[in-house]
Each structure stands twice: as C-alpha cells, then as structure tokens.
Structure 1
C-alpha cells in the first residue's frame, strides 16, 4: 500500500488542484483571452511565443463567456510535444509533473525552488506556471467530466503494480522464502494474528509450530525494516487491508448503504477537529463504534467512489464539511450521533 498510496495521493492532488482552478474560473464575470497571456518576460521571443502569436484562435479582443469551457488546443495551447498524446498519456505526464514538483519543493530551499520554477515548467513543455495551471484546469473539465481523474488513478495503479512485480521478479535474496514460508504467506499469517488475537491460523498457514513461527516472523520483520524499496512493507500492508476486519465487518461489507458518504465526512471532520483539540484518535473513532481498521477500510472505499464521480461528490463534500465543522468545532457534541 505504501507506494500505491503515494501515487493515489498525488493523483488526488492533481484532481483537487484542477478542481480549485476550475471553480475559480466560474467565479469570474468574464475572461479576456489576450495574445500575450503566456508572453515571455524575456525580450527574446521564443519559438513557442511565435507559434502562440500566430495562432488565429488567439485574438486579443476575443471574449470568453463565463460559462464557456476553455478548450485544449484552442483556448489553451498544449505544452510542446503533447499535441498528439492520448488522455492516459496526458494523465501520465501530469502525474510526472506533480511528482517532480513535490520532490523539488522538499529537497530545495525556498529561494532556489522558486527561482527554478520557470525552468521546471519549461522542461515539461509549458510556457510558465500560468500555462500549466490553465492547462490542468482545462484538462480536468474536458475529458468527459471525471474520466481524466480516473485515468490518472488507473495509471498510478498500473505504475504501482508494474514496479511491485518488477521487484518480486528480481530474485532479490531478501524476498526469498524463510524456512519455506513465502513473503505473501507470512504477511497473510501475520494479519491473521492481528485480527484474531491468536497464532492458531498463522500456524496453519505457515505449517509451523510456535517456535518455527516465531523464527520465521522475526526474520521477515527484520527484512522489512531493512528493505529501502518498501516492497516487503507494501505486500505486508496489502495483506492487512484485504483480511482486516473491524466493528463494521470485512472491507467488502462497506458500501454506500452500510456506511454513507455523509457519515464518512462526519468521521473525517471529527477526527481532524477533535484530535486538534487533544482527543485521542482511537477515542474519537469509538464515538462512532469504529476501529482504526474500520476507518482504513471505509476511507479506501470512499476514496475510490469519490474519484470515480467527482461531479457528484464535490458539492456533497462541501455541504457535509460545513455542517460537521460547525458541529465539532467547539467539542465532540456527540449527543446526537446515530449508529
């Protein structure tokens, strides 16, 4: 889950930023498209400037109605080299932009980071940051509502699975079985111990006695702590996700009827605000008769649902967030919680 979660988060960051930009556009009374919108601050006009100025679609007096979408390639030019890319290829490219941006922001001091942004965006074919932001917003609204976001998530999943499989197939010594117990079987067995509180199922899965299980488990834990690639931790975490159960039951039991979107937002807001006020997260979840496993499973379900239909869930999220921020801002106010 480690790498996949990182990729999913980056994909969601792309969607959230695009959503914000699109919403800002809707608030404007009108938008005048001027031919020097992406003009270089340099006196030397680049090839990109020349192409931009010569495009007949860009008229300095052209006005865009507030409800008219900005079309890729017409109102918003493609980055250099992106003109013939498919939707999934564009999603892949934008994911790469987001990933490198995050690395730069983390590794560079603030002055160097901002000084390097022009070259950063140029590296990906954008004229400047404004061009990138406009293109991102237009891409989000142009690709059949939410399909662009889903394409990004799908691509992230493909990347995760390919990288994980590459590691598994690499014949790394630390991924080989320990006393005949594979990584997958150990992860499944360890998850059973966490869920059931006994080692009985672990002994059955691994075909070991208690001493044998302790030896195998200790070795896999050591390998996991030394694995800088995160491969062992990913398989270990996936085993917990697929087998873990809480008060809400198995993850497959969680759906829109058993755990509604509004309840998900309420728990999320309660955790955020009440933990800021000093409450323990476990205690907050207990208010809803939930465990950490329940919260993990429900979050996984609703992230997928949300990203599959952002048009539906964005306004609902705003409504429920405002409602429950008002409820929990001053304390737990849990007298009216419905179970």
Structure 2
C-alpha cells in the first residue's frame, strides 16, 4: 500500500500532465482498506470551525479522471452533519424503507418527545434503528438537507424553463413588432391603451382618461375594438404580453405624471402605502386573497374588500403579477401559499369575510 505522504497531495488547479505520477499512485491504491480517520490532519474531536478559520484538508477517494479533494471543514464546518460525516453515520434501514414525507413525519413526532418524555424518546429512536441521540439528530438533519436540495433542484428547473419561455416570448414580441402588429392605432399605442384601461379599472373617470390620452370616445371605442381584435388573432400571445406588462405598470407614458395617477391609500402608522406593504408581505397578500375568495362566496364585492386594505383593482393586479412571478420560480413559496390559504380560509370562514379586519 502506498504511504499516506504519497497520497496526501493537493492537485487542485493543476493540469493532468503535472500529476500523471500521482494518478498512477491512486490507481494502485487499495481503496477497500482506505480509512480517512487515520490520515494526516484527521481530528476526531470534531470541534466547530469558525467561518474565517483556515483548516487542513481531509483526503478522500478522488475521481481517477479528475483528482479532487473533499474538505470536511468546508462542507460541514460545524454541527451534527460534521460529526455524523466523520463518524460515518448511516441512515437506519427502518427509515430508508419509508418515503421521505413519511420519514419526516415520523421523526418529527419523535423530536417532540426529545424534551418532554426522555424515556419514550430513547425507546422510539432505538425502534427506528438509531444508536443514540446524536445519530437521531444527524438523521433528522440529513432528511432536512435532502428536502432542501430537492427544493433547490426544483427551483433551478423552474428558472431554466422560465428563461426559455421568456426568450421565446421576447422573440414573438419582436416578430409582432416587425410585422406591424404593435403599430399604433389612430395614434394610440398598445402601452397607452393598456395603461388607460388600468386607470379605468382603478376608478379613474373615463372622461379624465380620454383627456390624458388626448382623444375622444368614438375614436377610443374604435381603438379598443381594433386592439382587442389584434389580441384575439395573435396565437403567440405577444400582444397580450405587452398589454399585461403595461396594465400592471400603468404609470407610464402619458400617465406617468403625478396628476393623473390614482395612488393607493397611505398607511400613516408605517409611513408606507398599502400597495408597498402587500408587495413586501407575502402572507398579507395571501390573507387578502382569501378574504376576497370567502367574501365572494358570501356575496360580497371583491373591490370593496380591497378598499378595506387601502387597495384598488389596479393595485391588486400589480400585486398579483409581482407575487405570481416570484412563485413561478420559488417552490418553497408555492408550498407556503398552500399553508397560508388553509389558515386564512378557515379564519375568514369562521369569522365571516365581512367582519372587521386587522391590517
């Protein structure tokens, strides 16, 4: 067997020609007798490592085509994962036989006994195949880590798909623009028409909107009919995308001046607008959504419920687009939405959607 000095080499950043002899040594290594705990720098006391503290490398069997090192002190600088890795903990077969969700549920139940019923806790972890409390804590941490990795992978996939769809839509919009489908109608472009509709939906008087646009109602009706026809005939939905973006962000173009904007009410207790609050608070967004849903079931007007929160229809459209975009690439947020909807649907169903609210 090769000596540890021959094997304990850091070749990161080097070209293969520079460590050809090293590859030969590794190829002859009897990995069945490999025990990293006996190698140089193996500290079996496993003290936690500060983030800014320099640490020795722990050697590990490399990929023979691309030698590398696993630095225990980088992967697990502190905590039970570090301890479990160094002690070669394995998940008991009793847990491996369960699905991830069932295993999480079972171990969570045992965790609740950890401080309330020590004897029962010890009995339970033994029945599940854990050797002691540290082994159990490591198992819980490993399941949590696996869940986090799965969620990260799901988010990465969603982001990749969204990027592809965005690129495809950008191409459709460019083609629509080059083909004249986004050319102004009677001098009114798509963004202006969409912003005007957003202002009307938000409560701005039609006559005031037409003054800002600089047109009269007969022309406005013709323009609206034509833009609607173009959107209905556009199978790529490029025009609808341009419309939606302008509708959600309607303070543009001729509607950019403060005199023409209908703003949501200001919450003087926090110094911020109601729109800002719900844009920054995901739980509040779900709460209002549930309030509207339960209110609709009870025959109440959704717009009046929004007014209770200092919002109007345009605000709500903007907020919805904001959070929908985030949830499209955040699996955790989508899961949280389900929990919050269950909570607030029950709350409003019990109290009645028309009751006083705590904003």
TM-score norm. by structure 2 comes to 0.45
Query: Which protein shows a greater Rg?
Result: 2
**Structure ranking higher on relative contact order (CA contacts 8 Å, 6+ apart):** 1
